[in-house]
Amino acid sequence: MFKLKGFKPDWTNDPPPKGTYRSIFKWGAPDRFKHPNNRLYAMLKREFEMTDADFKKPQNQGNEQVRLDRPPQLTNQHVEPLIRIVGPENVSSDDYSRTKYSSGKTMEEAMQLRRGIAGEVADIVVHPRDKEDVSKIVTYCNGHKIPVYVYGGGSSVNLGFKPVKRGITLVMNTHMNRVLSFNETNQTITVEPGIMGPAYESVLNNAPDFFNAKRRYTGGHFPQSFEYSSVGGWIVTLGSGQQSSYYGDMYDIVLSQEYVTPAGVFKTYDYPATATGPKLNDIMKGSEGAFGILVSATLKIFRYMPENQRRFAFIFPNWENTVNAAREISQGEFGIPSVFRISDPEETNVALKLYGIEGTVIDRLITLKGLKHGERCLYIGHTEGEKGFAKNVKKKVKRICRQHGAMYITGYPVKSWAKGRYSDPYMREDLNDFGIMIDTLESGVTWDNLHRLHEGVRTYIKSRPNTICMSHASHFYPQGTNLYFIFMARMNDMNEYKGFQQGIIDQIQKHGGSLSHHHGVGKMIAPWMEEHLGTVQMDVLRALKDHLDPNNIMNPGGTLGLDTNDREK
């Protein structure tokens, strides 16, 4: 491998210029970056047969100013009534806004935007101020059959809010980001959907200051997109946080919801349980904007007790033992750790580099113990909850891991993981700058099908030469878990990428995984839905769609596969 003396890749350290495509597709804060460390860089070169020379000149950086080749189709006849509803300061139709609020975080969109391709964009962008605005907008748009899309935090990885039928996009995090009420007795909080992760968590952590509460609380929901995703987005896409094994998925956390739909406005009850027929709260979870617009939600909150967390990490001799131990822990009825991540051998290799274990004393001990590279697997996690409960969970976890041949390697790797938990996505820009594609797909799976799904998808990905496939499971239930596939390759051709991605989804489907564990469906995975659920079940979802949104104005154009049976895969 060709190595330049003293060479460092030209990772970008400058915030993207304003108004550029890069400022749209770049993850997170404009001035934050995370670059691959030396060990990771060396691995990339080795895996992709690249040399330092390949990292000298970044490509397709998207530093051009956004320019659209199409003016809004929506005429002033329609724009003016919308301006009357929300005020002129809350409507924009400039090229940049239209592009920014129409773009999510898929690899596909990043590739396009890097090449100055905006894809489908909204005609105008509207920032509603409150539920009444939303209500008037939906009434108007329903009356005039104008498509309505909703932008929460913008972190969708499946074209969830892509305005493929144009129309308008509502931005929820501009104004509709307030706490509406806090109820310490019930341990609930009611918020508008546009409140972002950090703001939401911060008011809960500081509940004594904000609400004169007796205790501090946590929302318990920490997806990797935490810093740049909204509570509303978490709900309508059925998100899961990295601590979901203890706190539950957003599916479990959201207690009640209020929606504006073309068929009317409703608020579900926040009873902890009720036997009054099928629950609208359930029907709306995961509806991805296709049934109506979420305007407020009441969520369960939890006591904030980080002082009780007990960290741990283990190296297992192989994947099978790791999975068996994880299952035993999930079914043991002593409580489940909150962070709970098992990595397959290929991911373990990368993780040991990323978390700074490689080359340390721990690394030498692992090797001494005979835990072989290419077979060994990492398990990291920490407990949550009341002190005695948390201590007991760690005790049982240790016992079970040892019974499965694992070596305890302290809590250090979890600390290291926690430090990078929200910043890893920043690396995508560096990789993409040098023609390396990185993307993820994930699936829900029962225990008895885990190995088949893992092997099936891996075999497909690895059949492509010089392609990395890292897998982990990070959300645990007594009945199963998820599998999260991260794949990387030197790939610049958009068609090649699309074909490869679709092939992976095919394999997930073929090997009995769910089409998504917590990314949602959006318009990207929608074409697989009919086969996945079957026509009888899809027809039920379509009946709901027809009732709630008879004019198909709510996130139209394929969402969940509801309004396109024939969309090309």
How many whole angstroms separate alpha carbon 396 and alpha carbon 479? Answer: 19
Question: Taking each helix axis from N to C terminus, what angle separates 494-510 and 450-462, rounded to the nearest 10 degrees?
Answer: 160
* Span of 40-48, 78-86, 122-130, 179-187 interacting with a second copy by CB under 8 A: 179-187
What's the length of the chain? 569
Q: How far is the CB of 184 from a second copy (least distance, A)?
A: 9
Between 188 and 501, whose beta carbon lies closer to a second copy? 188
Q: Which of residues 80-119 bind a second copy (CB under 8 A)?
A: none
B/e letters for 149-166, b = 16+ CB within 10 Å, e = fewer, are: bbbbbbbbbbbbbbbbbb
Under rule CB under 8 A, residue 6 binds a second copy: no
Under rule CB under 8 A, residue 279 binds a second copy: yes
Q: How far is the CB of 194 from a second copy (least distance, A)?
A: 21
Under rule CB under 8 A, residue 349 binds a second copy: no
How many whole angstroms separate alpha carbon 330 and alpha carbon 397? Answer: 10
Under rule CB under 8 A, residue 479 binds a second copy: yes
Between 6 and 278, whose beta carbon lies closer to a second copy? 278
Between 153 and 520, whose beta carbon lies closer to a second copy? 520
Q: What is the 3-state secondary structure (H, E, C) of 208-274?
A: HHHHCCCCCEECCCCCCCHHHCEHHHHHHCCCCCCCHHHHCCHHHHEEEEEEEECCEEEECCCCCCC
* Span of 8-16, 133-141, 162-170, 184-192 interacting with a second copy by CB under 8 A: 184-192
> Which residue is it, tokens 């991805």?
288
How many whole angstroms separate alpha carbon 172 and alpha carbon 149? Answer: 11
Q: Which of residues 311-340 bind a second copy (CB under 8 A)?
A: 327, 331-335
Residue in 86, 89, 78 with CA at minimum distance from that of residue 146: 78
Q: How far is the CB of 378 from a second copy (least distance, A)?
A: 22
How many whole angstroms separate alpha carbon 175 and alpha carbon 151? Answer: 12
Under rule CB under 8 A, residue 478 binds a second copy: yes
Residue in 210, 406, 242, 436 with CA at minimum distance from that of residue 313: 406
Under rule CB under 8 A, residue 558 binds a second copy: no
Under rule CB under 8 A, residue 271 binds a second copy: yes
Q: How far is the CB of 1 from a second copy (least distance, A)?
A: 41
> Which residue is it, tokens 């972002």?
196
Under rule CB under 8 A, residue 470 binds a second copy: no
Q: What angle do CA 104, 47, 313 make, to 5 degrees?
A: 75
Identify the residue among 40, 199, 280, 494 touching a second copy (CB under 8 A): 280
Binding mask 227-266 for a second copy (x = CB under 8 A): ----------xxxx--------x-x---x-----x-xxxx
Backbone angles phi, psi at 380, to 5 degrees: -125, 155
* Span of 312-320, 424-432, 442-450, 486-494 interacting with a second copy by CB under 8 A: 442-450
Residue in 63, 252, 254, 234 with CA at minimum distance from that of residue 155: 234
The tokens of 38 are what? 């030396």
Identify the residue among 96, 200, 302, 379 touching a second copy (CB under 8 A): 302
How many whole angstroms separate alpha carbon 342 and alpha carbon 133? Answer: 45
Q: How far is the CB of 254 from a second copy (least distance, A)?
A: 12
Q: How far is the CB of 263 from a second copy (least distance, A)?
A: 7
Q: Are 24 and 99 in contact (CB under 8 A)?
A: yes
* Span of 18-26, 91-99, 191-199, 508-516 interacting with a second copy by CB under 8 A: 508-516
Number of residues that bind a second copy (CB under 8 A): 92
Between 23 and 268, whose beta carbon lies closer to a second copy? 268
Q: What share of the chain is helix, strand, coil (3-state, %, to 5)?
A: 40, 20, 45
Beta bridge partners of 483: 443
Q: Which of residues 387-416 bind a second copy (CB under 8 A)?
A: 388-389, 392, 395-396
For residue 554, what are the contacts with CB-CB under 8 A and spacing of at least 6? Answer: 148, 261, 262, 289, 290, 291, 292, 293, 548
Binding mask 513-532 for a second copy (x = CB under 8 A): -xxxxxxxx---x---x--x
The tokens of 342 are what? 């098992």
Give the helix/strand (H/E) hosting 207: helix 207-211
Per-residue CA distances from 165 to 72, 134, 399, 530, 558 (Å): 12, 19, 55, 21, 10
Q: How far is the CB of 343 from a second copy (least distance, A)?
A: 20
Beta bridge partners of 489: 437, 467
Between 294 and 351, whose beta carbon lies closer to a second copy? 294
Q: Are 126 and 137 in contact (CB under 8 A)?
A: yes
Between 115 and 547, whose beta carbon lies closer to a second copy? 547
Between 266 and 408, whose beta carbon lies closer to a second copy? 266
Q: How far is the CB of 64 from a second copy (least distance, A)?
A: 35
Residue in 384, 386, 409 with CA at minimum distance from that of residue 398: 409
Under rule CB under 8 A, residue 216 binds a second copy: no
Between 205 and 514, whose beta carbon lies closer to a second copy? 514
* Span of 21-29, 123-131, 345-353, 479-487 interacting with a second copy by CB under 8 A: 479-487
> Which residue is it, tokens 């990905």?
461
* Span of 68-76, 200-208, 440-448, 458-466 interacting with a second copy by CB under 8 A: 440-448
Q: Which of residues 186-215 bind a second copy (CB under 8 A)?
A: 186-188
Q: Which of residues 528-557 bind a second copy (CB under 8 A)?
A: 529, 532-537, 539-541, 543-544, 546-548
Between 249 and 347, whose beta carbon lies closer to a second copy? 249
Under rule CB under 8 A, residue 565 binds a second copy: no
Q: Which of residues 34-63 bind a second copy (CB under 8 A)?
A: none
Q: Which of residues 366-385 bind a second copy (CB under 8 A)?
A: 384-385
Identify the residue among 114, 376, 472, 475 touching a second copy (CB under 8 A): 475
Q: How far is the CB of 415 from a second copy (least distance, A)?
A: 23
* Span of 109-117, 278-286, 349-357, 419-427 interacting with a second copy by CB under 8 A: 278-286
